[in-house]
Amino acid sequence: MLTRRALITATPLLVAGCSAGESPYDRAARDLWRLPDLGGGVPMLALVHAATLAANGHNTQPWRFRIQPRVIEILPDFSRRTPVVDPDDHHLFVSLGCALETLLRAGLGYGWAGEPELLPSGGVRIAFSSAPARPDALFQAIPHRASTRTEYDGRPVSAATLRGLEAAVGPEVALRWVLDPDDRAHLTDMIVDGNSAQLADPAFMRELTDWIRFDSREALAQRDGLFTAASGNLTAPRWLGERLLPMVMTEQGEAERIARWMKSSAGAAIFTGPSETPAGWIAVGRAFTRFALKATAAGLKLAFLNQPVEDIWMRRRMAAWMGAPARRPDLVVRFGYGPELPRSLRRPTQAVLVP
């Protein structure tokens, strides 16, 4: 995808202005990004709330939840597909995996151990049983994890922290570090090439534009999509934002931004799942989420740069470079120390429940 996406990340044309006090958007974000104290109750709604805080492609939130006694089902919501950037629903199922892992981690924190079982429909059924509450660092990190699309400060990450991240990913999903200068330069080239191809594709741009929330009024009304200010940048009414987009999102400008972002990061990681199936993609989402929560707990910021894995030819080029031409690299994530940006929103829990 674009450097997630000039309007999300780019030239500060009209920066959202909020005078004294908290804006309605900031209040909504603050109310959203927390784990409620349950006072010992059965936390099904709290678990669904936590699951919705998971990373998900374009923030489409492609999920529905069915609550039964001690059971939650996470179901794909195909009405929220992004067919251009994600024609085979890879990102959709990775997003379900992110929600599943977040839900399981929240369950452990609240004292409910979940046993997941994949459903033939592509969903997941999780049966819960009571367990000692384990509000560990990954649990605490759930409301702090975010996609932070900006420059980081270039500081390296210690070997011990990298080992911790590797351990969090686990054995099912392969993790390839991109740390040394040659590798980083090569990966940067692939991201730039993928990005340029997406920029030149009108269908990609149309789909992306439809999911951009150009100002806080739109973001608050929809509570989904990619709010420009959540990447630290301009807001504008949609009619203006749509007109400005081609001007601020130039091939050259985007290439430079990617290079700066990669340079400022401590490194990047490429995730390759066990199989090219929905089950394999859910496993990738789960592994990424453990990585992201562990990184967040360690004070790191992270952001995807998935351009080289979103097109089959780019993907093959990357797989060949990685020395595993028969496998499908699933995700590209950069990480490092950096600033906090405004957070994204989610739809209310009630809106994602299957009645």
Ligand X SMILES: Cc1cc2nc3c(=O)[nH]c(=O)nc-3n(C[C@H](O)[C@H](O)[C@H](O)COP(=O)(O)O)c2cc1C
The residues binding ligand X (CB under 6 A) are 1, 4, 55-59, 91, 94-95, 98, 146-147, 149, 226, 303-304, 306, 344
User: Considering the complex, what minimum distance in angstroms separates the CB of residue 277 from ligand X?
Assistant: 15
Nearer to ligand X by Cβ, of 143 and 164: the residue is: 143
163 or 206, CB closer to ligand X? 206
Cβ at position 62, least distance to ligand X in Å: 10
Question: Cβ closer to ligand X: 43 or 273?
Answer: 273
Tokens 């030819």 belong to: 313
Q: Residue 308 in contact with residue 192, Cβ under 8 Å?
A: no
Scanning the structure block, which residue is given the tokens 């929240």? 106
Residues 23, 17: Cα–Cα separation, whole Å: 9
Shortest Cβ 4–ligand X spacing (Å): 3
Residues in the chain: 355
Tokens of 187: 């990966």
Instruction: Give residue number: closest CB to ligand X.
Output: 4
* Of 19, 125, 117, nearest in space to 75 by CA: 125
Task: Identify which of residues 112 and 310 has a Cβ nearer to ligand X in the complex.
Answer: 310
- Residue 97 C-beta: closest distance to ligand X, Å: 8
DSSP string for residues in 283-315: HHHHHHHHHHHHHHHTT-EEEE--GGGSSHHHH
What is the distance between the alpha carbons of residues 172 and 284, in angstroms, rounded to a whole number?
A: 8
C-beta of residue 142 within 8 angstroms of C-beta of residue 105? yes
* Nearest residue to 106 via CA among 69, 54, 68: 54
Cβ count near 20 (within 10 Å): 4
- Shortest gap between Cβ of 49 and ligand X (angstroms)? 13
CB of 167 to ligand X, least distance (A): 21
Pick between residue 128 and residue 245 the one whose CB is nearest to ligand X: 245
Per-residue exposure over 278-312, b if at least 16 CB sit within 10 Å of its own CB, e if not = bebbbbbbbbbbbbbbbbbbbebbbbbbbbbbbbe
- Least separation, in Å, of the C-beta of 128 and ligand X? 24
CB of 90 to ligand X, least distance (A): 7
Instruction: Give whichever of 272 and 344 is closer to ligand X, judged by the CB atom.
Output: 344
CB of 26 to ligand X, least distance (A): 15
**Alpha helices (H) along the chain:** 6-9, 24-32, 44-52, 90-110, 137-141, 159-169, 181-199, 202-211, 216-222, 238-248, 251-264, 278-297, 312-321
Rounded Cα gap, residues 343 and 112, in angstroms: 28
Task: Closer to ligand X by CB, 157 or 305: give it.
Answer: 305
Residue with Cβ nearer ligand X (125 or 286) = 286
> Would you say 226 or 269 has its CB closer to ligand X?
226
